[in-house]
Amino acid sequence: MTNYDLTKLQQISDVAWLVNRGGERIGILNQDIQDNFIYISGKDTVNFQGQEAVKDYFGNIKLFEEQIDQPVVNPDKFYVKGYEIDYAEPYAIQEGDTGYDPALPLYTKLEGSGVYYAAGYYCIHFDKGWKHAKAPKATTLYRYGFEGPFQTELEAKQRMKYLNRNDSRT
């Protein structure tokens, strides 16, 4: 029997866990309908009858009680009202919230923050011409004027090029 002091489970479904040791994924553990378990690593397949046998094998009596709570997959992209943002944990501004604007997909980076960002790409009308930006502060959009939101940077750049050619201020 091998004693894996640092072995922890990370649940991926009702009947499946990633098996981690020392921060590394070392295998997967599956539970069948008869409460038996199968551990699969890159080298071995081990069958167990019940949770106690699994705990004994990994040497961790709290294996099922003290699991890793982090999500297995961290999304690469986040969206607010269909517009991509780079911030990992946004707080979308909903109807009824202070600062809500039905024309803009707004979010904050901190819960309860008064600094609002607009998801998507925008053309902003600065004094020296139009510039594009991704997820600018809402105050910047209101202060200088804007067009958008656009789904992609390419759309915003194409529109910005047109706006700069036809801008009477520049």
Domain boundaries, the chain: 7-58, 78-165
Q: Which amino acid is at 37?
A: F
The pLDDT of residue 161 is above 70: yes
Q: What is the DSSP letter of 137?
A: B
Are 92 and 81 in contact, with CB atoms under 8 Å apart?
A: yes
Q: Please report the pLDDT score of residue 3 as a whole number.
A: 43
Greater model confidence, 56 or 5: 56
Percentage of residues in the chain with pLDDT exceeding 70?
92
Which residue, among 75, 84, 83, 81, has the nearest Cα to 94 in the 3D structure?
Answer: 81
Would you list the DSSP string of 52-101? Answer: HHHHHHHT-TTTTTS---S-SS--S-EEETTEEES-SS-EE--TTSTT--
Taking alpha carbons only, the member of 27, 47, 45 closest to residue 37 is 47
| Model confidence at 153: pLDDT above 50 | yes
Helices within the chain (DSSP H only):
51-58, 138-144, 153-165
- Structure confidence at residue 16 as a pLDDT band (50, 70, 90): very high
Give yes or no for residue 141 having a pLDDT over 90: yes
The string of pLDDT tens digits covering residues 93-120 is 989 888 899 999 999 999 889 999 999 9
Determine the pLDDT at residue 98: 85
Give the model confidence (pLDDT) of 25-51 as tens digits: 899 999 998 999 999 988 889 999 999
**Overall pTM surpassing 0.75 (yes/no):** no
Return the pLDDT at 156.
95
Q: Residue 1 has what pLDDT?
A: 39
